[in-house]
Chains A and B, each alone.
Chain A
C-alpha cells in the first residue's frame, strides 16, 4: 500500500521510483553521519528542491543559494527528522523556509530586493513546454505571497493545509492567496 503522504503532492510522486525503504536506509545512514548517504539523498531530491527554489525566487542565483542552504540545514537538522513524514516533504519544508527567510532578509536589504524583483524566470531554464511559457512568466510576476502559495499548491500539488503550514499562514489564507494568484494570472494571460 503506498504511503498516503507520497500521493499528496506531485513533488513526492517521482520519489516512489527510488523506493521508500531504500530512502529510509539512506536517511538512517545519513543520520549516523554518512555523508555519502546524504549525497545520495541530495541526488534524489536536488531537481525538485532546486525547482521549488527557482519557482519561488524566480532567480537562478538565489535558487542555487537557497538550495545549498536548504540541504545544509537539512544535514544539521537530520537528527530531528522522524519517519512520520516523507523525507521529500520534510526537505521541501526546509527549502520553503529557507526561501522565505532569504526573502525576508532581502526585503531588509533593498538592493537585493531589487535584484529579485527585476528578475524574470526564463521558461526554458525551468524546462516548461512552449505553450506554458506565458504562464511561467505570468507566475513570476505575481506578488510574493500569491506566487508562493500558487507554486506550492497548483504546481507542486500540496494541499492548502500543507501550503499553509509551509508558508506559516492559515489554510484559509492559502486559499485566498491561490485565488488571488489565479485572478492575477487570468488578467495577465487574457491581456497577452
Chain B
C-alpha cells in the first residue's frame, strides 16, 4: 500500500516537474555584457594587426630616411648663393700679441675642412654656421681691441679665451672632430 502511494507521489512529482517553466526571462538584458566580451578579443586582434602594420611602416620610413641621408653624403657639392664668405683674422691675444704657431696651424686646418664640410651641408645650415662664426669672430675682434686698451683685465682675458674656445667648438662640430679638449698652453 505504502509502495503504491510512493509510486503515485513519484509520478505526481515527475508530472509536476514537467510543468515547471523552462524558460525564464532575465531581469536585465545580458546581451550587452556578452557583446562587449566577444568584441574585445576582436578589437585586440585588430589593434595587434594595426601595431604590426605601424611598425612595418615605421621600419620602412626609417630605412628610407637612412638611405636618403647616406645618399645625401655622396651627392655632388651644391653651390649656395648669397652666403657670406668667412673673414679669417689671425688669432691673437690682444692687439700685437698673436697666438702660437701650433694653434694657428690647427685653426688653419680646421678652416679648410670647415669650407669643405660646409659645402656638403644644406644651404640654410651653411648660412647659420657662417653667421655664428662671424658673430664669434666679431666678438673676438672687439675683445682684442678692448684688451689693447686694458691688457691687464682678467675679465676680458677670460672672455677672449672662451670666445676662441667657442670658435673651435663650432669648427670642430662642423668638421666632426672632437677637439673640444684641445689644450691651449700657448696663451
CB of B20 within 8 A of CB of A126, answer yes
Q: How big is the A interface, by class? A: 35 or more
CB of B31 within 8 A of CB of A42, answer yes
CB of A155 within 8 A of CB of B18, answer yes
Q: How big is the B interface, by class? A: 20 to 34
CB of A75 within 8 A of CB of B17, answer no
User: How many pairs, one residue from A and one from B, have CB atoms within 8 Å of each other in the complex?
Assistant: 94
Q: Contact mask A13-35 → B, CB, 8 Å, 1/0?
A: 01000000000000000000001
Which residues of A are interface residues toward B (Cβ below 8 A)?
10-11, 14, 35, 38-39, 42-43, 46-48, 50-52, 54-55, 60, 63-64, 67-68, 71-72, 75-76, 125-129, 131-132, 135-136, 139, 150, 154-157, 182, 185-186, 189-190
A50-B24, A68-B37, A126-B24 given. 20 additional CB < 8 A pairs? A35-B38, A38-B38, A42-B31, A42-B34, A43-B31, A47-B24, A48-B22, A48-B23, A50-B23, A54-B24, A60-B27, A71-B34, A126-B21, A127-B24, A135-B17, A139-B17, A155-B17, A155-B18, A156-B22, A182-B13
Can you report 30 A-B residue pairs in the complex whose CB atoms are below 8 A from each other?
Answer: A10-B18, A10-B22, A35-B35, A35-B39, A39-B31, A42-B31, A46-B25, A50-B23, A50-B26, A50-B30, A51-B24, A64-B26, A64-B30, A68-B33, A68-B37, A71-B34, A72-B37, A76-B38, A126-B21, A128-B21, A135-B13, A135-B16, A139-B17, A150-B17, A154-B14, A155-B17, A156-B22, A182-B13, A186-B10, A189-B13
